[in-house]
Amino acid sequence: MTLGTPGTVPVAVETPRHTSISGLLDYTSPQPLAPGTLVRVPLGKRDVPGLVWEADPGATAPPAALREVAMALSALPPLGADWRALVEFAAAYYQRGVGELALAVLPPELRKLDDTQLARRLKRLAALKPAEAGTPPPLPALSEEQAAALAALAAVPTGHPPPPVLLHGVTGSGKTEVYLRAAADALARGHQALVLVPEINLTPQLESRFAERFPGRLLVSLHSGLTPAQRLRHWLQAHLGQADLVLGTRLAVFASMPRLGLIVVDEEHDPSFKQQEGARYSARDLAVWRAHRAGMPVLLGSATPSLESWQRVQEGRYLRLGMAQRIGGGAMPRVRLVDMNLLPKPGAGAPERVLAPPLLEAIEKRIAAGEQSLLLLNRRGYAPVLHCGACAWKSGCPHCSAWRVFHKLDRTLKCHHCGFSERVPRACPECGNLDIAPIGRGTEKLQEQLATLLPQARVARLDADTTRAAGSLQQQLAEVHAGEVDVLVGTQMLAKGHDFRRVTLVAAVNADGALFSSDFRAPERLFALLMQAAGRAGRDAEQAARSEMWVQTWHPTHPLYAALRKHDYDSFAAAQLEERRAAGLPPFAHLALLRADARTAEAATGFLQEAATLIDATTAGVTVYPPVPPFVAKLADVERMQMLLESPSRKALQRTLAAWLPQLNGLRSRHKGLLRWAVDIDPLAI
Ligand code: ADP
Ligand code: ZN
Ligand code: ZN
């Protein structure tokens, strides 16, 4: 174990990056403290938590009067060198302080304990009989493709870092079984396994499948839905090596696991692996880095891989293992496009067309056959906006540049960006007209309309509004699984990895929105969502032949839909990558976004413009674009602007950012009204 200079201890603390670029401050300690030891140190007038770090070899001699470490949590085994390397890499890459990141990813409860309290906890945990030993369920015979994938995985050379493996398996091809076997193999070799999933609450089935498969082994979960005490306990169990399996969301990529031997990232393309505040890290990318450094396998699974991962396969940097068949040999659902242009326009008095007649008919047939249908509409609430026909008033949010959504059930107008909510006015607040009307349709309205169109059907709804109460999601999913629902309306939540066995029809009611979005990733996301949604139909092989995915569209000839019809991810990805290459977008270019929040748009713009002058674009090899407002320019009374930096070279971009960002706080005072700035490396949306 490397110790710092005797007497002097570098400690990573939560200082903002501009106080100490490395985030490390020096202290003294009467006894030597190993790197990775949790401590409390005086900073200004307070005691703050910190982590003993390696001495920075380049650091200058510390000033004479160092303060002393106030307290060390010696009962806790120090965080290991691998963990510290991960944090150090992530801090440097995402341009944050080491201490800031390190402390942000540890369970908050940890800092509330003193050494005695912690020692008591650890003793209790050590005495715990964790998991009940039992008989594992009989293993299913592997499909040919599963067996081939596992054989290829086993043949990946070890020793030097094995290449990341992309498990490209269509929905229903049995990717989970591959994860389970790979995990069993890691456990048999005495390792721990880490499984990252986008949103644990949406797929409770996955956790129970892992728990059933490994009786006698301790499985813990790490996600934001845990109580602070649970999160601490699970984290400690992983850190102490008691837990063999950690199943978690993006924050779990930072779990301390001394025997880690395998990382799985399920649905690796999912945007929720990217943290959207603070250190905006990508858990998928960090998982790849972590595995590479430790020389262990990492398995990225998806039916619609991110174009980043796909491009790495093309370059030979990742190994692709494909599974093109559904378990049981079931067909993929037949994709049917409904050309909305061909429907008769709703005339005077004629009702608005919700579902095209053939789609409605198809749903009726499913109901008669005792089968289920899923209707996807990616917009919650009753209607996205209320409108007054007399004076053109619309239900804008007074605090954001966004409309407030009409929620009929609780009669509110709610801003989905800042949360501002008011009772629906009885008359137009501008002119008093009583006839204010909702425009457009959200899931609430679709559910209501379906109840009229299909009076015999049991119509349920699944979205963020219906699943807010604790346990309600599980209960609703259970009702669907039990066949108590005929038609389920919902947002993209519906499309997640649910293993619905009675669903034979899935319909995207209004998918076109993303086709012409200014966000260059919108088509990639739409395609993934529709493929994922289609994958919910016909999961029971017997029903697969009848299963259908319907898409209502005004643009039936769009190439995205042509690829969807053929379930052809490869050609969709190839076409997208060509466009990205031509436009100089990721994965062929690397991006960073500097965001500024201010009282006025002028202040935000002024700050960004001055920041841009500090970069010499010609020598930096980085293109700096002019500041532009984001999609929601004003949010909760704050004006926002953003400025894009782009470079074909990741190194050049990183070098520029590292030199540039520390200068930015010096500019702050010159831009009155500037509230904060932040940088987003590899932003998902621009
Ligand atoms: P994916 O994640 O690829 O969409 P799943 O892992 O959910 O697919 O598997 C689809 C279904 O097939 C699940 O119900 C799973 O239990 C079942 N399954 C997977 N592998 C096998 C197998 N080898 N034999 C029988 N059933 C399997
Ligand atoms: Zn009005
Ligand atoms: Zn708002």
Atom of ligand 1 nearest to the CA of 173: 3
Residues in the chain, overall count: 686
Of 58 and 246, the structure prediction assigns the larger pLDDT to 246
* Pairing outcome for strands 372-376 and 192-196: unpaired
Q: What is the pLDDT of residue 4?
A: 46
Q: What is the pLDDT of residue 318?
A: 96
Pocket test for ligand 1, best of 142, 145, 176 (most atoms within 8 A of CB): 176
> Residue 375 burial by CB count (10 A; 0-12/13-18/19+): exposed, middle or buried?
buried
Atom of ligand 1 nearest to the CA of 323: 3
CA distances in angstroms from 248 to 201, 263, 266, 299, listed in the order given = 10, 11, 10, 15
- Of 47-61, 354-368, 416-430, the one with minimum mean pLDDT is 47-61
How far apart are the C-alpha atoms of 444 and 460, rounded to whole Å? 10
Residue nearest to ligand 1 atom 16, measured at CA: 174
How far apart are the C-alpha atoms of 387 and 666, rounded to whole Å? 46
Q: What is the pLDDT of residue 668?
A: 87
Token representation of residue 544: 């697969």
Q: Residue 542: pLDDT band by 50, 70, 90 thresholds?
A: confident
CA distance between the termini of the chain: 44
CB contact at 8 A, 443 and 461: yes
Atom of ligand 1 nearest to the CA of 266: 2
Ligand in nearest proximity to the CA of 433: 2
Res. 442: pLDDT tops 80: yes
**pTM higher than 0.85 for the full model?**
yes
Q: Report CA(438)–ligand 2 centroid distance (Å).
A: 13
Q: What is the pLDDT of residue 130?
A: 86
Give the number of other Cβ atoms within 10 Å of residue 582's Cβ. 9
Q: Report CA(328)–ligand 1 centroid distance (Å).
A: 9
Cβ < 6 A, ligand 1 pocket: 140-143, 146, 169, 171-177, 327, 499
Percent of residues, the chain, with pLDDT higher than 70: 95
Q: Report CA(326)–ligand 1 centroid distance (Å).
A: 8
CA distances in angstroms from 467 to 205, 460, 491, 509, listed in the order given = 17, 12, 12, 21
Ligand in nearest proximity to the CA of 390: 2
Pocket test for ligand 1, best of 177, 195, 207, 212 (most atoms within 8 A of CB): 177
Q: What is the pLDDT of residue 567?
A: 94
Of 2 and 72, the structure prediction assigns the larger pLDDT to 72
Q: Report CA(410)–ligand 2 centroid distance (Å).
A: 22
Domains of the chain plus CATH, in order, are: 8-127 (3.40.1440.60), 144-328 (3.40.50.300), 330-380+442-578 (3.40.50.300), 382-441 (no CATH), 590-681 (3.30.70.260)
Ligand in nearest proximity to the CA of 400: 3
Pocket test for ligand 1, best of 327, 539, 567 (most atoms within 8 A of CB): 327
Q: Report CA(636)–ligand 3 centroid distance (Å).
A: 5
Q: Report CA(273)–ligand 1 centroid distance (Å).
A: 23
Ligand in nearest proximity to the CA of 428: 2
| Highest mean pLDDT (candidates 64-73, 233-242, 494-503) | 233-242
Q: What is the pLDDT of residue 456?
A: 92
Q: Report CA(490)–ligand 3 centroid distance (Å).
A: 23
Label residues 229-246 b or e (16+ Cβ within 10 Å = b): ebbbbbbbbbbbbbbbbb
Angle at the Cα of 64 from the Cα atoms of 58 and 69, rounded to 5 degrees: 85
| Highest mean pLDDT (candidates 52-61, 308-317, 346-355, 542-551) | 308-317
Residue nearest to ligand 1 atom 23, measured at CA: 142
Percent of residues, the chain, with pLDDT higher than 90: 78
Q: Residue 2: pLDDT band by 50, 70, 90 thresholds?
A: very low
Q: Residue 538: pLDDT band by 50, 70, 90 thresholds?
A: confident
Q: Report CA(394)–ligand 2 centroid distance (Å).
A: 8
Give the number of other Cβ atoms within 10 Å of residue 152's Cβ. 15
How far apart are the C-alpha atoms of 360 and 478, rounded to whole Å? 25
Q: What is the pLDDT of residue 1?
A: 38
Q: Report CA(446)–ligand 2 centroid distance (Å).
A: 26
Question: Which residue matches tokens 């939540």?
Answer: 493
Res. 453: pLDDT tops 90: yes
Q: DSSP characters for 82-139?
A: HHHHHHHHHHHHTT--HHHHHHHSS-GGGGG--HHHHHHHHHHHHH---S---PPPPP
Q: Report CA(435)–ligand 2 centroid distance (Å).
A: 8
Residue nearest to ligand 1 atom 14, measured at CA: 499
- pLDDT, mean of residues 514-525: 90
Q: What is the pLDDT of residue 228?
A: 95
Res. 618: pLDDT tops 80: no
Res. 98: pLDDT tops 80: yes
Ligand in nearest proximity to the CA of 138: 1
Neighbours of ion ligand 2 (CB under 5 A): 388, 390-391, 393, 428, 430-431, 433
CB contact at 8 A, 15 and 43: yes
Ligand in nearest proximity to the CA of 432: 2
Q: Residue 59: pLDDT band by 50, 70, 90 thresholds?
A: low
Q: Report CA(404)–ligand 3 centroid distance (Å).
A: 7
Ligand in nearest proximity to the CA of 146: 1
Of 132 and 240, the structure prediction assigns the larger pLDDT to 240
CB contact at 8 A, 562 and 376: no
Q: Report CA(146)–ligand 1 centroid distance (Å).
A: 10
Residue nearest to ligand 1 atom 10, measured at CA: 172
Res. 36: pLDDT tops 90: yes
Atom of ligand 1 nearest to the CA of 170: 3
Q: What is the pLDDT of residue 60?
A: 59
Res. 415: pLDDT tops 50: yes
Q: Report CA(413)–ligand 3 centroid distance (Å).
A: 10
- Of 14-28, 65-79, 179-193, 375-389, the one with minimum mean pLDDT is 14-28
Res. 150: pLDDT tops 70: yes
CB contact at 8 A, 427 and 456: no
Q: Report CA(40)–ligand 1 centroid distance (Å).
A: 49
Atom of ligand 1 nearest to the CA of 327: 12
Atom of ligand 1 nearest to the CA of 176: 6
CB contact at 8 A, 118 and 75: yes
Give strand pairing partners of 28. 8, 68
Q: What is the pLDDT of residue 514?
A: 82
Ligand in nearest proximity to the CA of 394: 2
Query: CA 295, 300, 306, 307: dihedral to nearest 10 degrees?
Result: 50
Residue nearest to ligand 1 atom 24, measured at CA: 140
Res. 15: pLDDT tops 80: no
Query: CA 334, 335, 336, 339: dihedral to nearest 10 degrees?
Result: -170
Res. 20: pLDDT tops 60: no
Residue nearest to ligand 1 atom 18, measured at CA: 174
Res. 18: pLDDT tops 70: no
Atom of ligand 1 nearest to the CA of 142: 23
